[in-house]
Amino acid sequence: MNIDMIEAAAARARGHVRRTPLLGSPFLDDLAGRRILVKAECLQHTGSFKFRGAWSAISALQGAAGVIAFSSGNHAQGVALAARMHGLPSVIVMPSDAPALKIANTRAFGAEVVLYDRRTESREEIGERLAHDRDLTLIRPYDEPLVIAGQGTCGLEIAEQAAELGVTEADVLVCCGGGGFTAGMALALEGSRLRVRPAEPEGFDDTARSLKAGTRLHNGDAQSICDAIVTPAPGEITFPILQRLCGPGLVVSDEEALRAMALAFQRLKIVIEPGGAVALAAALFRDIEAETVIVTASGGNVDPAMFLRALDTL
């Protein structure tokens, strides 16, 4: 994996992937005691950065009969829409307890949705079996070089937008699950003074713990509302990239993520889901030495009830 793959993904994405804005608010700056800039990937197609990786992978396919993916929702929607735009059928394996909005949206984008019980069944086994039986190309959510390259296009945009604002040095906090987004961002920003740091929810801080330990560690049986980033462990492909390029991880509570969601709506007028708010929560509620912090608002696919719960924190 290198910058050439990310730049190639950016070329394939031109005219298809949105260049999302980099937003700021003096109110958030005052609350955090530092400048905060928010990369609003919640405004990306399908409501999350995942469309970048899906478009990158599917646009590079040659002669595929169809695609399959496993996801709690955001990768699902990205793959479903990218496949439809390429005229390909898609099958998405989703947990039965995924937010109803994400399941409905994935079907609306034309995908066949296969539900499974995340406590008793393996999405990887289901996905690989269906891929074999139906001759489908599996698009993995994070441990896939073409997906990582697509996510890295967000880092290229951040570098350009930060430079336009006169920002040459900052910590870049990335909402982190399996590490595809974080790895792509780190590769895109390698060599700059924009240092990538993963942000995770409590109980699913496998990346922060793994970086500290120097080896891949797994999560236990914790619960979190941050469904988009509750993966079991850092990816086999992503972790060496994170280990080489990323700063220490940051960890926030579910309540802090809800508070960040409410503040993003109040001050930036954007809607973020819990898993997409952990980077902003870390910037707001953790001690960070950097004078400027850039955060990814990585997704906005939240059910109304959860969003109302966030607004109740104001």
In tens digits, what is the pLDDT along the chain, a chain of 314 residues? 899 999 999 999 999 999 999 999 999 999 999 999 999 999 999 999 999 999 999 999 988 999 999 887 889 899 999 999 999 999 999 989 888 888 999 999 999 999 999 888 888 889 889 999 999 999 999 999 999 999 999 999 999 999 999 999 999 999 999 999 999 999 999 999 999 999 999 999 999 999 999 999 999 888 999 989 998 999 999 999 999 999 999 999 999 999 999 999 999 999 999 999 999 999 999 999 999 999 999 999 999 999 999 999 99
3-state SS, the chain, equals CCHHHHHHHHHHHCCCCCCCCEEECHHHHHHHCCEEEEEEHHHCHHHECHHHHHHHHHHCCCCCCCEEEECCCHHHHHHHHHHHHCCCCEEEEEECCCCHHHHHHHHHCCCEEEEECCCCCCHHHHHHHHHHHHCCEECCCCCCHHHHHHHHHHHHHHHHHHHHCCCCEEEEEEECCCCHHHHHHHHHCCCCEEEEEEEEECCCCHHHHHHHHCCCCCCCCCCCCCHHHCCCCCCCCHHHHHHHHCCCCEEECHHHHHHHHHHHHHHHCCCCCHHHHHHHHHHHHCCCCCCEEEEEECECCCCHHHHHHHHCCC
* Domains along the sequence of the chain with CATH: 3-49+145-311 (3.40.50.1100), 50-138 (3.40.50.1100)
Angle at 29 between CA 25 and CA 31, to 5 degrees: 115
Q: Return the amino acid letter for 135.
A: D
Q: Provide the pLDDT for residue 119.
A: 83
Q: In what order do the strands lie in the sheet with 22-24?
A: 22-24, 35-40, 292-297, 169-175, 193-201, 250-252
| 242 neighbors 215 (Cβ within 8 angstroms) | no
Q: Provide the pLDDT for residue 34.
A: 97
Q: Provide the pLDDT for residue 1.
A: 87
Q: Provide the pLDDT for residue 188.
A: 98
Among all chains, which residue has been given the structure tokens 């995908």?
111
